[in-house]
A and B are shown apart, each in its own frame.
Chain A
Amino acid sequence: MSSSRRKVLLKVIILGDSGVGKTSLMNQYVNKRFSNQYKATIGADFLTKEVMVDDRLVTMQLWDTAGQERFQSLGVAFYRGADCCVLVYDVNSAKSFETLDSWRDEFLIQASPRDPENFPFVVIGNKIDMEEGKRMVSQKRAMTWCQSKGNIPYFETSAKEAINVEQGFQAACKNALQQEGEADIYSDYPDAIKINSHDADQGYGCAC
């Protein structure tokens, strides 16, 4: 694979309702820090992190978005060119889980990816460190949803305790790379030659 030595930049967009912990997850992943204080994100902000995936140096550009307003202040250009989308919800809030559907739909509309069916998403259920009694969305329910949307990888994390955060983003990165690889393959080849497109019916039967 010729592209494997090339330096890769992946644009990963993190979406989800406000207060589910998007910024915390990103901060935990990139800076290994967590703060209990809630500060609403305004607009969007990004951090970068370099990771090695299969001998490849990949720069991940993680875009944290404001969950409070839906796609209003960010231009279409912001979503275009995204390589992966991380959908985050709070396992202790049923509503934040139910809105995942519309976050996903909105993202697809805004980003208009080349291959919307196979666009890499990752779902993260955050805040599993809270006590079990508070939990509103069961793992089974989340998994079922992910399966119905085309086997989206699902991770349960805690940004506070740094549980599974690394794995979640790692999966996002891998999927994005895989997708990119496939896209490259497609774009390298021109239109396939149709061997049997219109000569097919001539081969059958005799001419008399």
Chain B
Amino acid sequence: MHSPFSLSTLIPPEALGSDAVTATLLHANRVILGTEKGSLLVFDLSNASTSISPPSATLVSKHEGFCKKAVDQLGVIKELNGLLCLSGGDLTLHSLPTFALLSSFSAQSRGAASLFALSTYIHQPPAAPPRRSNTSRAAPMAPSSPEIRTTLALACRRRLVLLAWIDGAWQTPSELALPHQIRGMAFDERKIVAGFSTGEYGIITLPAAKAAASEAPSLGELFTPTMPAVEKAKAIPAGLGGLGNVMGLGALGGLSLGAKKLEKNGVVAVPRAGKGKAKDDGGKSSDGATSGAWLWGKEWGWEDEEKEKETKEGEVLVVRENIAIPLTSSGKPRTSTPSSIIYPSFTDETLVVSPYIISLLAAPPPSLAPGSSSSSTSLSPSLAIHNIDTLAPVQTLAVPPPPISPPSSIAEGSDLKLPDPAAQQPFTARLLTVASSSAQPPLLLLTSRPPPGSASAAAAAPVEQTLWIVTMKSWQSQIEELGQAGAWEEGIRLVRRSGANGGMDLPPPLLRRLAVLHSLALFTEHRYDLAIDAFISLDITPSKVVSLYPHAISGKLHIEHAGHEELFGGRPQHKVAAAIEDEIMRKHEAEEEEKKRIEEEKKKAPASPARKGKVAAAVDDDDASSIRSGIGRLKGKASWIKDSSDVLEQIADRAAIDAERQAKLDAKRYATSVDELIRYLTDRRQKYAQALATLLPSARPAPSSPRARASGAELLELPDEPLTNLSPDQLARVAQVVDTALFKAYLATKPVMVGPLCRIDNWCEVEEVEELLLAAKKYQELLDLYNGKNMHEKAVKLLRQMADDEEDPEEKVGPTIRYLQKLGADHVTVIFESSRWVFEADRAAALEIFIADLEEVESLPRHATMAHLERIGSDVCITYLEHIIHTLGEEGSEFHEKLIELYLAAVHRPNGSGSDEAYQKLLDLLESSTSYRADRMLGRLPSEDMHEVRAILLGRLGRHEGALQIYVYQLEDHATAEEYCKRVYDSDASMRPTIFHLLLRIYLRPRPSHPLLFGPALSLISSHASSIDAIEVFDLLPPLVALGDIRVFLEKTLRRSGERVREGKVVRSIGRAEVDEEEGQLVDLEERRVKITEGRVCPQCHKRLGNSVIAIHSPRGEVTHYQCREKFQEMNS
């Protein structure tokens, strides 16, 4: 527990004098003390709110005889600038700072006033009626400025006097008769909760502010709060060491009977938390995290508190005897437990300084606690400080503090006469009442009065009294202190409760830090949805969020549970770890103890069916166990002896069930947390995509570009900022973290989603992800991932591994082939590299990598492919080249030549298998293709062999004679030679007259070594007589030829020449006829008709044409005299 308060001397005894101080007031840095003898002491307080130097007070003035009697209570009405003083049953109002008497309320109090309570609030009158309707008339009454309303409740025996001021103007007082005397009361807005001397309570409702005059205040029914504490009171003091046990019981008994009159029945006002204001402010500010809006928002997990606050009821604290109970202003106790505080001894005074309840506890009288003298550590009064929300004890301060504790005051040197240790001389601390007009800092004063040591001077002797100041540490240091113990949440609650400021005055960095810690707390409380929302709104870097998850998801980002707090701005890891260890130790010890206790109990407890039944009933809610216990019961009937062991067994069973249930719950929580993580990560995915989109394309990192591996620590150091503020490199890291974590989350909970993630653009870190995918045997997804990242080498490696496990030969290579087919020209090296083993595995199938009818495959660079395939083997290369040449229409000479070479090589292969086929293909190609260079090919030819090839090539080169020689001499294939000639004759016009002569010459003028080929020559001339010039044939023919041999030729030639003559004649006649026709047409076209009238004039001589001879001119048909025609033509030409 932290200790927010410290006690130090403010005014030493010598300055206070000997008059017993009976009332204190703090107002505007003035400490006003009222004494027993009716005088006022005014001190100036400095440094009260700063922690730099200790507060000090100097005496400003002393007003002797301010009142006639002891000052009972002091108060201030700020807007009146007036000091209220209750003394001798009367109330007086004095002006500040002169203390002149302003008015006395003795008429109302009639000397019977015992205490008063003050309430000041600002009343906002309802808005003026709608202006549009009556703008002019409404003008005088329109401005409805807020009013300050002050109500003073004065308890006078069995009356309650209500005095009121509105904006400082006195209102007519009202009075209320009461059934009993009021012992304590407190305001909550328009209600007063009053504690009566009977121990009952009543709620006095003040009339609504609007109708102040007409309505009278009313008192509701009296009630005694249903005190759960009554039962508890019996047990708890015993637990506390019997302190005040007897007394407590006695007092409570009296209380419930209502017989005994109570001297004290305090009601303490609890200031309302200022969250409304904070909420409004939060709305304006855009940055929710630093403005403190998160301290209240429902989305930050405060909805339960929110609900409580929305009931609109304030709280008061009812204090009597040693119990303090918070009640709502309608008189209901809290529903949460504990609903009350039970102090070890009576409370003298209680105060609420949000978020603390501070009570001054009287020193337990030794006589009342006879059995507890040993355990009671101190007989001096003490200050007990409790949290108002949880009612948990926070701190206890001894009054006065042990001498060592206020070293500062000793150092001051102002109060050397510190009272002696409390054990020797019991102190009575009497007053604690503070009426402070300043809201902050919460500061309170305390007077402790050590009576003089000698008993003789009990009453009259001058008392030695000291005014102490109880200062509260700044919120910041309190939070820090709590944080050191890991109680950040408590610190945050503290801020929430700390009054009107609502945490707004905390420095933004601290507020943010708390918000971050709160988000972590939400996470650890398994409120994952809220936590994730918080993480998003705080822009916590994803790596930190991911690190909260178990190793399976966070991977290298994983951090031990103990380290989470440090990561989110809390305690360092080793401290948390130590704290956890302590806790475990303690738990362990407690368990051990519990075990022992059970053992003992087991030994002691006789076998009792009732007990067993109870246990059975306890486990009844679980089916399995109920069955088991049912069986147990049956067994139990049979043998009672076994009972006790049954009980133990059942306890063990129950533990097992509990464990199972816990495991189930854990699993459910884990699933929820991962679901929320997925939500978070998909959200982040969008955010980083947006952030990336805003970057310039040149600066934008690409998911597939290689990136050095970042260690977990590096990633955790990414700043907690909106993603758009990050540098491109940081952004890339964030994206990696997000996608990798998303991947792992999917793998853990929704394996189906891994596929889609791998297929779309992603930033997964391959090194991390691939192992997982391999382990999960998600090869297809891994391939998709590699593919997306352009990591094809890895992909094909994987494919190869997969192939090794595959039995079916088709399936062995199929996936690899399909994968490679899709890669395209950019990854040609990968394709080549990996195609090798595929070729080894299945040559025919592997070819599909290169010849499949797919766009990507066709785009592969053909030269490189050819070179690659040639290395694989000439047969595949041949198939490939045939594919591209014949199917794809490749015209590049390199390919054709390469194919020719390959064919040549194939033909020459020694084993000769398929060489015929290859040879045929070669010839076909050579014949059909035009894309090779024949001379080069000719050079490649072996000198001896392959005459056909050579002939074709020679023919290509235009060396028809050479080609024909080959046909004739080497191949002796006259038909082909003839065919060749025919082809040339048809295709090449320039060779037409001579090609057959070439052949004929070869036949008839052979090389010396060859015989005359008379036969073929004759068949040639007889079959191609028309294409061969007869004269040359006669030149070539040997001088002696049988006429019969050349008869066909001669006939054909003669017929041909006759045919030519006749043909010439026909052509000539046709030509003539055409000329005639043309001429006739020309005459027709040139024929013109002109009309010569009386008035028509020759354009040349401008005389009338009359009956004279005329000439008509082409082409426009002008008409002139005949004799004028030459002149006219000259002129117009």
Contact = CB atoms under 8 A, between A and B. Distances in A.
A105 B758 CA distance: 9
A74 B693 CA distance: 14
Nearest to B668: A191
A75 B753 contact: no
A109 interface: yes
A110 interface: yes
Given A72-B686, A76-B682, A109 B757 contact: yes
Contacts of B742: 109
B27 interface: no
A185 to B, nearest CB: 19
Contacts of A75: 683, 686
A112 B753 contact: yes
Contacts of A80: 679
B690 interface: yes
B752 interface: yes
Interface string B750-769: 10110111011000000000
A112 B682 contact: yes
Given A105-B757, A105-B760, A106-B760, A116 B686 contact: no
A117 to B, nearest CB: 5
Interface string A175-208: 0000000000000000101000000000000000
Nearest to B762: A109
Given A71-B689, A72-B690, A76-B682, A102 B753 contact: no
Nearest to B683: A76
Contacts of A112: 675, 678-679, 682, 750, 753
A101 interface: yes
Interface string A98-137: 0001101110111010001100000000000000000000
B685 interface: yes
B689 A102 contact: no
Nearest to A79: B682
Nearest to A71: B686
A72 B693 contact: yes
Interface string B728-766: 000000000000001000000010110111011000000
Interface residues of A, number: 21
Interface in A49-95: 70-76, 80
B744 to A, nearest CB: 14
Nearest to A70: B689
Contacts of B623: 193
B759 A101 contact: yes
B688 to A, nearest CB: 10
A52 B683 CA distance: 35
Contacts, number: 52
Nearest to A80: B679
Contacts of A193: 623
A25 B759 CA distance: 28
A116 B682 contact: no
Nearest to B692: A72
B778 to A, nearest CB: 14
Interface string A128-154: 000000000000000000000000000
B754 to A, nearest CB: 10
Nearest to A103: B760
Contacts of B760: 102, 105-106, 109
Given A72-B693, A75-B686, A109-B685, A116 B752 contact: yes
B806 to A, nearest CB: 21
Given A72-B689, A101-B759, A102-B759, A109 B752 contact: no
Contacts of A105: 755-757, 759-760
B784 to A, nearest CB: 10
A161 B753 CA distance: 37
A76 B760 CA distance: 17
A76 B753 CA distance: 16
A193 B742 CA distance: 31
Interface string B976-993: 000000000000000000
B537 to A, nearest CB: 14
B690 A116 contact: no
Nearest to B784: A105
Contacts of A70: 689
Interface string B663-701: 010000000000100110011011001100100000000
Contacts of B750: 112, 116
A137 B689 CA distance: 31
Contacts of B755: 105
B1052 to A, nearest CB: 56
A117 B693 contact: no
Given A76-B679, A112-B678, A112-B679, A104 B686 contact: no
Contacts of B753: 108-109, 112, 116
B679 A117 contact: no
A70 B685 CA distance: 12
Contacts of B759: 101-102, 105
B689 A117 contact: no
Contacts of B683: 75-76
B752 A117 contact: yes
Nearest to A105: B756
B101 to A, nearest CB: 69
B682 A110 contact: yes
Nearest to A104: B756
Nearest to B761: A102
A110 B675 CA distance: 13
A71 B682 CA distance: 11
A117 B689 CA distance: 26
Indicate the member of A102, A108, A191 with the most B CB atoms within 10 Å. Answer: A108
A104 B757 CA distance: 11
Contacts of B682: 76, 109-110, 112
Nearest to B742: A109
A104 B679 CA distance: 18
Contacts of A108: 753, 756
Nearest to B739: A109
Contacts of A110: 682, 685-686
A193 B627 CA distance: 15
Nearest to A112: B678
Nearest to B624: A193
A80 B757 CA distance: 17
A72 B689 CA distance: 7
A191 B671 CA distance: 14
A105 B685 CA distance: 14
A117 B752 CA distance: 7
Contacts of B686: 71-72, 74-76, 110
Contacts of A106: 756, 760
A70 B690 CA distance: 10
Nearest to A108: B756
Contacts of B690: 72-73
A101 B756 CA distance: 9
Nearest to B755: A105
A105 B752 CA distance: 11
B689 A109 contact: no
Nearest to B758: A105
A82 B679 CA distance: 14
A126 B757 CA distance: 27
Contact of B756 (A74, A76, A109): A109
A117 B750 CA distance: 10
Interface of A: 70-76, 80, 101-102, 104-106, 108-110, 112, 116-117, 191, 193
Given A108-B753, A109-B753, 17 more contacts: A70-B689, A71-B689, A72-B689, A72-B693, A74-B686, A76-B683, A76-B686, A80-B679, A101-B759, A104-B756, A105-B756, A105-B759, A108-B756, A109-B757, A110-B682, A116-B752, A193-B623
Top 5 nearest A-B pairs (CB, nearest first) are A105-B756, A108-B756, A105-B760, A76-B683, A116-B752
13 contacts: A71-B686, A72-B686, A72-B689, A74-B686, A76-B682, A105-B757, A105-B760, A106-B756, A112-B679, A112-B750, A116-B752, A191-B664, A193-B623
Interface of B: 623, 664, 675, 678-679, 682-683, 685-686, 689-690, 693, 742, 750, 752-753, 755-757, 759-760
